[in-house]
Amino acid sequence: MPQMKQLKELEELEAAGPAAKYDFFVQWHLTERCNLRCRHCYQADRKETPAGVDLSLKEIGRVIAEISDTLGSWAKNYQMDFSPSFNITGGEPLLRADLFDIISEARAQGFDVFVLTNGTIINRQRARALVNAGVRAVQVSVEGPEEVHDSIRGRGSFSQAMWGVKNLLGAGLTVTLNSTLSSLNAGRMPEMVSLALGMGVQRLGFSRLVPYGRGSGLIREMLPAGQVKKLYETLLSLEIDGLEIVTGDPVASQMSIKNHPDAGCTAAGGCAAGISGFTILADGAITPCRRLPLPLGNIRTDSIRQVWATSTVLGALRDKSRYGGRCGTCRRWATCRGCRAIAYAYSMSRGEADFLSEDPQCFIEQDEETETAKFLPSLK
């Protein structure tokens, strides 16, 4: 009897009392329009969104209210304490004329707001407008020193991004520089540390390349697992006054834990897909992650609560028995699951398109020279 089971769940929850604050965030791509054409972009190389497809300000207001209501219902029914936020991005989010209104609305509804941008069109006035709208912090994508960055993101984009960073810092905002790691820039990361220090930003972050969309041509630039390991060991061991080195990479989060006990079969940390947030694309499509292009529905027609509870894709992401390769048998699965987007893009390049396959760059507890070679012949 479903109702009986549900009742039992609720009783147990009530007895368990409130949980610690749970980070729940929505990554929102307000537009696909962008003033750059980066080589590694996970967005498909299609023409700018046709007029009329991006959600309007009015629709966005309704979606913010729906997400707020949904979180309110979950908090009330299951005694969850959420720390809700939006990562606002694009395309280039600063290209939206109503960006500051959207941010203000999200703040008014109790969400923290972070903006992810290429930095190139942020003048002093816009930096100040971001502060006034209530933005918590801004992430600017920087791929390495000037020639590396420009070779990936286009000529002149480095200078423009640095100009934007200066304006953001001048307005008093917290800034993260974030690099997408691949063989195109891995050797230049020490210079990124100098750059971050020189610019005076507060954080330096890293993500791994997802060879999808325009970036699918960069499959050969994916780093072998052993090189990711060495890079992370070097970068994450740095202790620099005033500069925090950050990454959300689930595999990186496993590095400090030796002899991991079996964390069980309930996903609760690591990859956020299906667990602690979702992504909304410019046309309202809902996906598990900005880098994992599996449609779950559309925000214009589908209820978030319904999608969150009943999506078969989200159900599969939460089910250890559905995972393949090493991730499927790993005792760290509950707190890791690797990067599902990389697993998907990589498997797709081999003609399999399996978002539950193992993370091809995982270096945890594997002998780089033998295990990696066995699993990843083409990455060697």
Partner 1 sequence: MIFCFLGRKLDIPDVPDSILKTTGKEVTGVKKVKALDSRTLEKEAIFWGNLKRQLKENPVKICRK
User: Which residues contribute to the site for ligand SF4 (CB under 6 A)?
Assistant: 248, 250-251, 254, 271-273, 289, 291-292, 326-327, 330, 332-333, 336-341, 358-359, 362, 364
String of contacts with partner 1 for each residue 11-50, x by CB under 8 A = -xx--x--xx-xx-x-x--xx-x-x---------------
Nearest distance from residue 149's CB to partner 1, in Å? 12
Nearest distance from residue 212's CB to ligand SF4, in Å? 11
d(C-alpha 255, C-alpha 204), whole Å = 18
Range 320-334 burial, b when 16+ CB lie within 10 A, else e = beebebbbeebebbb
146: amino acid identity, one letter: E
Size of the site for partner 1 (CB under 8 A): 87
Angle between helices 157-170 and 124-133 (to 10 degrees): 50
String of contacts with partner 1 for each residue 266-285, x by CB under 8 A = xxxxxxx--xx-----x-x-
Nearest by Cα to 333 from 249, 271, 255, 256 = 271
Nearest distance from residue 274's CB to ligand SF4, in Å? 9
What element of type H or E holds 287?
strand 285-287
Which residues, including other chains, have CB under 8 Å from residue 19's CB and lie 6 or more apart?
79, 80, 81
- Nearest to ligand SF4 of 164, 250 (CB atom): 250
HSE-CB for 268 with a 13 A CA cutoff: 8
d(C-alpha 133, C-alpha 173), whole Å = 12
What element of type H or E holds 226?
helix 225-236
- Nearest to partner 1 of 96, 326 (CB atom): 96
370: amino acid identity, one letter: T
Q: Does 98 participate in binding partner 1 (rule CB under 8 A)? A: yes
Q: Which of residues 131-190 bind partner 1 (CB under 8 A)?
A: 159-160, 162-163, 166
Nearest distance from residue 180's CB to ligand SF4, in Å? 11
Q: Which of 128, 203, 214, 305 binds partner 1 (CB under 8 A)?
A: 305
Q: Does 316 participate in binding partner 1 (rule CB under 8 A)? A: no
User: Taken in order 126, 128, 133, 134, is the CA torsion positive or negative?
Assistant: positive
25 binds, among partner 1, ligand SF4, none (CB under 5 to 8 A by kind): partner 1
- Nearest to partner 1 of 124, 380 (CB atom): 124
326 binds, among ligand SF4, partner 1, none (CB under 5 to 8 A by kind): ligand SF4
d(C-alpha 313, C-alpha 286), whole Å = 11
Q: Which of residues 203-262 bind partner 1 (CB under 8 A)?
A: 207, 248-250, 253
- Nearest to partner 1 of 193, 373 (CB atom): 193
